[in-house]
Amino acid sequence: MSRTARLLDLLQLLRNRSTPVSGNDLASALGISIRTLYRDIATLQAQGADVAGEPGLGYVLRPGFTLPPLMFSADEIEAIVLGSRWVAAKADDSRLSQSANQALAKIAAVLPAELRHRIEATNLLVARGVTTPSSVDASQIRLAIRHEHKLAIAYRGPDGTESERTIWPFMIGFFDAARIVAAWCEMRQAYRHFRIDRITALHPIAERYPQRRAVLLKQWRADNGIAPPT
C-alpha cells in the first residue's frame, strides 16, 4: 500500500469514529507500527486535518475537514452506482429520484477519467418494480422528518376506514411494493406504520415534535427488537 493510500485510509478510519480511538487500534487496522502511525498523524495535521489527541489518549477527527477527490475502489464505485440507481428507480418520489441521478453525476464529474469510465461501464442493473402510486407529495414527509416537524394526515386503513392523525414521522422504509412511514401517533400514543399510498391528504404543521428524531428511532428499534446498523 502506498503512503498516500494509507493516509486516506487513516482519514477514513477517523471519519468513521465520533469518539477517540487509540493509536494502537489505528495502527493495527492499518497494519503499521505505532511509530509510523504517529508520523502519519503528524503529516495529516500538517496538511490541515484537525486531528485532536496525542499518544496514550487516542485520536479524533474534528468536523470541518473534507477529503480531496476520492480514489474509489471498483467495489466502492459499484456500491455507489447500485445505490444511486436503486433510489432513482425505486424511490417513488421524483425529487429523490432526480437527486440520486444528480449526485451520481457530480461524483463522476470529479473522478479521474479511468474511474469515471467504471461508473459508465458498470454492469449492475436495478429493475423497476410495480409500486402502488401515492396521492400525496412524499417530499413533504421527508422534509418533516428532516426538520422534526409534526404532520397532520388523513389515512385510509386496509379495511377502507378513514381517520385523521397527527404523527411525528422519523423514518421512511422503502419496500418493493410500498413505502412505509414510521412515526409516533398522537391518537394511539404509540409507534405506528403508515403506507404512503394510503395517506389521502397531509398538511405540514409548523411545530417540532418534543423528542429528537434520533431518540424516536432508537426507541422504535428497541421496541421492535431491531439492532442499530453497524
Q: Which three cell numbers stand for residue 127?
A: 429493475
Q: What DSSP letter does each residue of 119-187 carry, written as one string?
A: HHH-------------SS-HHHHHHHHHHTEEEEEEEE-TTS-EEEEEEEEEEEEE-SS-EEEEEEETT
- Say how many C-beta atoms besides its own lie within 10 A of residue 179's C-beta: 22
Specify whether the CB–CB gap between 72 and 111 falls below 8 A: yes
Domain contains 67: no
Claim to verify: residue 144 and residue 210 sit in the same structural domain: yes
- Taking only the tens place, the pLDDT of each residue in 165-187 is 999 999 998 887 788 999 999 99
Q: What is the pLDDT of residue 8?
A: 81
Q: How confident is the model at residue 122 (pLDDT cuts 50, 70, 90)?
A: low
Number of domains in the chain: 3
Report pLDDT for 200. Answer: 95
| Selected residue with higher pLDDT from 87 and 191 | 191
190 vs 77 pLDDT, higher one: 190
CATH for 56:
1.10.10.10
Read off the amino acid at residue 146. Answer: R
- Give the list of residues 6+ apart from residue 97 with CB closer than 8 angstroms, or none: 87, 88, 89, 91
Residues 112 and 39 in one domain: no
Cell matching residue 220: 422504535
Q: Are residues 178 and 204 in the same domain?
A: yes
CATH assignment of the domain containing 170:
2.30.30.100
Helix, strand, coil percentages, rounded to 5, for the chain:
45, 25, 35
On the CB side of 215, CA atoms within 13 Å amount to 6
Distances (CA, A) of 197 to 14, 15, 132, 134, 179: 41, 38, 6, 4, 7
Q: Does any domain span residue 126?
A: no
Measure the CA–CA gap between 96 and 142, rounded to whole angstroms.
Answer: 10
List residues bridging with 153 in a β-sheet.
165, 202
Q: Helix or strand or coil: residue 112?
A: coil
pLDDT, averaged across the chain: 84
The verdict on residue 68 lying in a domain is: no
* 60 dihedral zone (left: phi>0; alpha: psi -120 to 50; beta): beta
CA distance 192 to 66: 39
Percent of the chain with pLDDT over 90: 43
CA–CA separation, 85 vs 104, rounded Å?
9
Tell whether 154 and 114 lie within a shared domain: no
Question: By residue range, what is the domain housing residue 49?
Answer: 3-61
57 with 79, same domain?
no
pLDDT (tens digit, 9 = 90+) per residue, 190-230? 999 999 999 999 999 999 999 999 999 999 999 988 887 65
Do 106 and 179 reside in the same domain of the chain? no
**Lowest-confidence segment of 22-36, 101-115, 135-149 by average pLDDT:** 101-115
Question: What's the Cα-to-Cα distance from 198 to each of 158, 163, 194, 212, rounded to whole Å?
Answer: 8, 11, 7, 26
Q: Which of 52-61, 133-142, 145-154 has the lowest mean pLDDT?
A: 52-61
Residues 158 and 207 in one domain: yes
